[in-house]
Amino acid sequence: MTPAEINAAATEHLARLVAFDTTSRDSNLALIEYVEACLGGLGVASRRVANPEGTKANLYATLGPSVPGGIVLSGHTDVVPVDGQPWSSDPFTLTRRGDRLHGRGTCDMKGFLALALATAPDFVREGNARPVHFAFSYDEEIGCLGAPSMIHELVTELPPPAAVVVGEPTNMEVVSGHKGISTWRVTVTGHEAHSSLTHLGISANMVAVGLMNQLAGIADALEHHADPASLYCPGHATLTIGQIIGGTAVNILARECNFVFDLRAPPGQEPDAIIAPFIAECIRQDAILNARFEGAGVKVVRRSSTPSFAPEPGGAAELLTRRLAGDNGPARVVSYAAEAGQFQQAGFSVVICGPGSIEQAHQPDEYLEIAQLERGAAFMARLHEAVRR
C-alpha cells in the first residue's frame, strides 16, 4: 500500500480503537477482540496473555514468515481516565477539528496501533523475507504491569527479533532512553482517640507527615545533585507524592493514613538505594507504634517497578528506526517511563518512536495531528519495504 492508503486505513482503525473505553481500571478485551478479528481476517493467528483475573489481556502475533530477524511493533491498549476533564467533544468518539484528530488515546497511543493494523495486509504478503510481530499490552498507564508476561512469551516462543519499536508519542523521532519509575504505597495505622487526648492514641496523619517530610528531603537532595550534562529534563531523579488519604474527622486522631509516591530515576541510579534511608525510618516507626498499641505500625508496599531504558549507541533498533523515520537528529531521551526498559531488560534491541506529542497525552481534548499520522504511514510503508528484502 502507498502511505496515503495506509493513512486512510489507519484513520478508520483509529476511530474504532478510540471508541473502545480502555481506561486502565476497566477491561480491554473488546479492543483485543477487534484486533483478533482484524488479524484473523488476514489468516493471522494471535495469542492472548491474560491477567490472572482474565479481565484483561496482552496480544501478540507474527505477520509473515516465522524466522529470526523480525521487527516487533509494541504498544499499549489502555488509556488514562477522562474524569473531571473539560472535553469539547466525546472523548471516545474520534473527532476531526482542522488538522487534528481528537479523542482519548489518539496520540497515547492508539494512533500507533492503528498504523500497525492498517499496514497488516502488507506485512502478511507472500515473499516477505522477515516478519513483523505485533505486541499489544494492557495496564501500561498504571505501572507497565501487563507487558512482562507477554515479553516472557516473546523471548521463549518467537524466533529472535532484530529490533523492537515501542510506539509511544515522540513526533516520529527516535528516542533511545527513558527514566525508570518505581512506586510505593505507605500505610500508617494509628490508634483512634479524642483529639484533645493525644496521649491516649496515635494520629496516623501526624506520623505520615513526618515520613512524607523525609521523602521531601530526599527529593530536595536529588534536585541539588542534578547532572548538568544530562540529556534528561530535569537532569536528576525525581520523587513526588501523588496521593494522600487519611483521617475521618477533625477531632479524631486518625486511625489510618495512606500515601503513594513515585521515584523516577535515569539509568545508572538504583531506586532502592535512593529510598533506603526512608525504608529504614519506616521500619523504626513501625516498631515504635506497634510497641504502643497492638496493630499500629507502618507498612510499605512496592506497587510497581519499571526499569529505565539506557541508550544503545549503534544498536540494531536505532539504526533501523532512524532510517525508516528519516531521522538524522541528535540523541534523545525522555523523562517518562515506558515498556522499552522492560524489553531491553529481556535482551531486545529497542527504541521508542511513534506519532504524536507526549505534551498532548493525558490532556483534555487530546489530539493527534494528521501530519503525524501521515509521517507514521510513511514509516510503515518503509518498514514493509525493509522486511521484503
Gap between the terminal Cα atoms of the chain: 16
Mark whether 134 and 203 lie in a shared domain.
no
The model's pTM is: 0.92
Tens digit of each residue's pLDDT (9 = 90 or more) over 131-159: 999 999 999 999 999 999 999 999 999 99
DSSP class of 159 = P
Q: How confident is the model at residue 28 (pLDDT cuts 50, 70, 90)?
A: very high
Mark whether 354 and 384 lie in a shared domain.
yes
Range of the domain at 275: 180-306
Buried b vs exposed e over 209-222: b needs ≥16 C-beta within 10 Å?
eebbeebeebbeeb
The arithmetic mean of pLDDT across residues 21-26, rounded, is 98
Predicted pLDDT of residue 225: 87
Grid cell in block for residue 151: 515479553
Mark whether 67 and 155 lie in a shared domain.
yes
Grid cell in block for residue 55: 479481565
Q: Which of 256, 285, 306 is the last residue of a domain?
A: 306
pLDDT at residue 19 tops 90: yes
Number of domains in the chain: 2
Mark whether 342 and 295 lie in a shared domain.
no
What is the C-alpha to C-alpha distance for residues 78 and 95, in angstroms, rounded to an integer?
A: 19
pLDDT at residue 92 tops 90: yes
Grid cell in block for residue 15: 476511530
Query: Could you give the strand order of the β-sheet that contains 100-102, starting from the edge strand earlier in sequence?
Result: 95-97, 100-102, 367-369
Mark whether 32 and 130 lie in a shared domain.
yes
pLDDT at residue 389 tops 90: no
Tens digit of each residue's pLDDT (9 = 90 or more) over 337-375: 999 999 999 999 999 999 999 999 999 999 999 999 999
Predicted pLDDT of residue 170: 97
Output phi, psi for 368, to 5 deg.
Answer: -120, 125
Predicted pLDDT of residue 161: 98
Grid cell in block for residue 280: 529504614
Predicted pLDDT of residue 17: 98
Predicted pLDDT of residue 385: 97
Q: How far is CA 386 from CA 72, 122, 350, 378, in A?
A: 13, 12, 17, 12
Tens digit of each residue's pLDDT (9 = 90 or more) over 279-291: 999 999 999 999 9
Predicted pLDDT of residue 313: 85
Q: Which of 273, 288, 306 is the last residue of a domain?
A: 306
Q: Which of 306, 330, 350 is the last residue of a domain?
A: 306
Mark whether 236 and 377 lie in a shared domain.
no
Beta bridge partners of 164: 72, 350
Angle between helix axes 316-325 and 370-388 (nearest 10 degrees) is 120
Mark whether 313 and 372 lie in a shared domain.
yes
Q: How far is CA 124 from CA 31, 33, 142, 380, in A?
A: 21, 19, 33, 13
Mark whether 108 and 239 lie in a shared domain.
no
| Residue 129 near residue 122, CB atoms below 8 Å | no
Mark whether 146 and 7 lie in a shared domain.
yes
Predicted pLDDT of residue 270: 94
Mark whether 227 and 277 lie in a shared domain.
yes
The DSSP element (H or E) to which 372 belongs, if any, is helix 370-388
- What CATH number should be reported for the domain holding residue 227? 3.30.70.360
Please state, rounded to an integer, the average pLDDT across all residues of the chain: 97
Mark whether 159 and 25 lie in a shared domain.
yes
- What CATH number should be reported for the domain holding residue 45? 3.40.630.10
Mark whether 301 and 281 lie in a shared domain.
yes
User: Which residues have C-beta within 8 Å of that of residue 365, sequence separation ≥ 6?
Assistant: 87, 88, 89, 102
Grid cell in block for residue 178: 527513558
Instruction: Print the SS3 string covering 184-234.
Output: EEEEEECECCECCCHHHCECHHHHHHHHHHHHHHHHHHHHHCCCCCCCCCC
Output phi, psi for 52, to 5 deg.
Answer: -60, -30
Rg (CA), the chain: 23
What is the C-alpha to C-alpha distance for residues 358 and 366, in angstroms, rounded to an integer?
A: 10
Tens digit of each residue's pLDDT (9 = 90 or more) over 196-227: 999 999 999 999 999 999 999 999 999 998 89
